[in-house]
Amino acid sequence: MERKFRFTINDFFLPDMIDGEGDIIPIISDGDDNDLENAELPEAMPVLSLRNTVLFPGVVLPISIGRPRSVQLIKDVYRLDKIVGTVAQKDPDMENPGFDDLHQVGTIGQIVKLLEMPDGSTTAIIQGRQRMVLGELVSDDPYFIARVKSIPEKKPDKRSKDFDAIVGSLKDLSLKIIKINPNISPEASFAIKNIENNTYLINFICSNTDIKVQDKQRLLEINNIRDRGFMLLEFLVQEIQILELKNELQSKVKSDLDQQQREFLLQQQMKTIQNELGGNPAEKEIEEYIRKAADKKWNQEVRQVFDKELDKLRRLNPAAAEYSVQINYIQTLLDLPWGEYTQDNLDLKNARHVLDDDHFGLDDVKERILEHLAVLKLKGDLKSPILCLHGPPGVGKTSLGRSVASALGRKYV
């Protein structure tokens, strides 16, 4: 007869916990479901409140004990029959929950081993036996002792193809999560593949799934194993979607960072080569802008804008598309005649003579320009003196602007 595979506590849990290395993976009991459900249990037993976890039937789980009353409870129980009721508290942040602050449904567990850790804390390795519901409180000093009633599991028909499909999907999704989640040890897949009992497999995955404690409590409270497995399937699908999205985002960020680091490295190498060959053209160009800016009659506001844009130019890669746009903006700032004025010559006869000498025809355009100059001469106010010339390339817009500047005695920019 083939030997049935079985984990042992000493071989799997204790080395990891004592050495403090590796991940602690809750393991599962092996055998028939009735081995746990038919065990004789006392009507009343001590109740241990769990803060951040939920114990499932069949699962062997290390639980860190921190509260003084919980430490006393565990030590007392370990000296006697080692049977304890475990119930998750409704509010994980509550330091000293009352009896009414505990969920009604929990799991009866058996303390397999009690460990005193190097840091002085106490860890109990507890195996879930069967589900229970809390009854009447017998005593609350020095810890909770209550009457409990076991809850039988409703198992599906062994010939149910629907249940077999759910179990198969749970295995596949669990193995996929282990593969794509870097925080889960690959050894967990070894446990998944070697659990033959479907009820234990569902409970094992419930215990290890990265979901909220309240969601695990909802799973524990479901009496029908098939329904528990189906709800668990929904949680696993959601977890895979979140993991795939996180991995996609991390991959994209890593790719972007790698590209930026590569560009930075190439830039530094290019600068070094250019310096060896006689200087960096981009740096020389920036120095030329600084020299031109020193002669500008700028106010403080314009000076701050120029310095800001020049710093932005320094940070840009010369190969980037924005580099040429930034260059054009800075050159425009430098080319504009800030604080420089000329005395306008508003002689209309001279203006007509210049326009006729420079351009043949275009009578309508010339008349409109002369009208504009006449208004400026009569009004004597140069606020908003804008004349817009529009048309396709090559019709004379630029040359007309140059002629107007010549007629007025202004410098053409």
Asked if pLDDT for residue 85 goes beyond 90, the answer is yes
Q: What is the pTM of this model?
A: 0.57
Which own/partner contact pairs does 89-92 have at CB distance under 8 Å and 24+ positions apart?
89/49, 89/50, 89/51, 92/51, 92/52, 92/213
Model pLDDT, residue 39: 63
In tens, the pLDDT along 170-180 reads 999 999 988 88
Indicate the range of 45-49, 62-66, 144-148, 317-321 predicted with least confidence.
317-321
Q: What is the mean pLDDT of the chain?
A: 80
Model pLDDT, residue 5: 32
Model pLDDT, residue 354: 78
In tens, the pLDDT along 43-77 reads 889 999 998 899 999 899 899 888 889 999 999 99
In tens, the pLDDT along 150-196 reads 998 888 887 778 888 999 999 999 999 888 887 777 777 888 888 88
Q: Could you give all domains of the chain from N- to C-terminal order, each with its CATH number?
A: 1-153 (2.30.130.40), 154-256 (1.20.58.1480), 281-335 (no CATH), 348-408 (3.40.50.300)
In tens, the pLDDT along 351-366 reads 777 777 777 777 787 7
Indicate the range of 73-87, 126-140, 214-228, 391-405 predicted with least confidence.
391-405
The contacts of residue 355 (CB under 8 Å, 6+ apart) are 366, 369, 370, 400, 403, 404, 407
